[in-house]
């Protein structure tokens, strides 16, 4: 069974075992699921090549750098085919929970898990990304990026020329008039010679978290 957020097992032996389960279980239901027999044969071919390559790479008499590289290539090919196989044939038919379990996959849950309102405070750290190019990274002051409530980030900002009055409070209307939304924690910004002011709120399905601290940086 998968041991990470990815559905594929993390070990090569586990990946082989899953491929064998698919060949056995899906092969018996090929017609109801509209899986061409040739595709199951192709999966078996990838599986056998990976099995042979693994046996060669693990055998002390045949283990060489070339054998190790060939083993990696065989498993890369097998797992790539399995991902495509799952996408084409396991997501379309009406699989039951028993089917998913037999295939080594997590049963489908159609009801989304409530994630709650975001509560973390996030701030901005800047770095030089290139000539006249300022990059920013989001950093958690408290809370965790793994919290499902923290789905995206609304970055409010203002760029002020020398001599302009800087913003003091991000919650005050008009202080940070511009914004953009991102699910990444790294972006790039260009406006050389001015000072950029930033504040961040986490957004989650219309729910907003608290304001992070106001930060600033001179754009080189």
What does the chain come to in residues? 220
CB 197 within 8 A of CB 216: yes
Residue 50 has a pLDDT of 96
Rg (CA), the chain: 26
pLDDT tops 60 at residue 55: yes
Cβ–Cβ under 8 Å, residues 199 and 213: yes
Closest by CA to 200, choosing from 185, 187, 213, 218, is 213
How confident is the model over 73-112, as pLDDT tens digits?
A: 999 999 999 998 888 888 766 677 787 787 888 776 655 5
Lookup: tokens for 85: 């196989």
Residue 82: its H or E element = helix 65-85
Q: Which tokens go with 160? A: 């002020």
Rounded distance between C-alpha atoms, residue 160 and residue 151, angstroms: 29
Q: How far apart are CA 54 and CA 48, in angstroms?
A: 10
What's the whole-model pTM score?
0.48
Q: For the segment 30-51, what is each residue's pLDDT rounded down to a tens digit?
A: 566 778 888 889 999 999 999 9
**Which domains, and CATH codes, for the chain?**
12-102 (no CATH), 122-218 (2.60.40.10)
**If you ran DSSP here, which 8-state letter would residue 107 be given?**
P
- Residue 177 pLDDT more than 50? yes
Q: What is the rounded end-to-end Cα distance, in angstroms, of the chain?
A: 50
């Amino acid at each position: 069974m998968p041991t990470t957020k990815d559905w594929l097992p993390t070990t090569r032996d586990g990946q082989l075992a899953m491929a064998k389960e698919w060949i056995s279980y899906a092969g018996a239901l090929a017609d109801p699921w509209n899986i061409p027999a040739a595709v199951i044969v192709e999966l078996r071919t990838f599986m056998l090549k990976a099995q042979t390559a693994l046996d060669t790479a693990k055998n002390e008499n045949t283990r060489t750098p070339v054998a190790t590289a060939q083993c990696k290539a065989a498993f890369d090919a097998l797992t790539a085919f399995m991902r495509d196989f799952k996408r084409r044939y396991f997501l379309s038919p009406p699989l039951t929970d028993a089917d998913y379990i037999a295939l080594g996959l997590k049963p489908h849950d159609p009801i989304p898990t409530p994630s709650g309102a975001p509560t973390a405070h996030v701030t901005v750290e800047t770095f030089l990304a290139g000539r006249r190019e300022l990059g920013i990274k989001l950093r958690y002051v408290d809370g965790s990026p793994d919290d499902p409530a923290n789905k995206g980030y609304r970055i409010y900002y203002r760029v002020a020329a020398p001599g302009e009055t800087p913003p003091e409070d991000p919650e005050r209307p008009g202080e940070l008039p511009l914004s953009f939304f991102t699910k990444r924690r790294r972006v790039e910004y260009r406006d050389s010679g001015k000072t950029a002011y930033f504040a961040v709120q986490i957004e989650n399905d219309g729910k907003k978290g608290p304001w992070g601290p106001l930060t600033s940086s001179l754009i080189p």
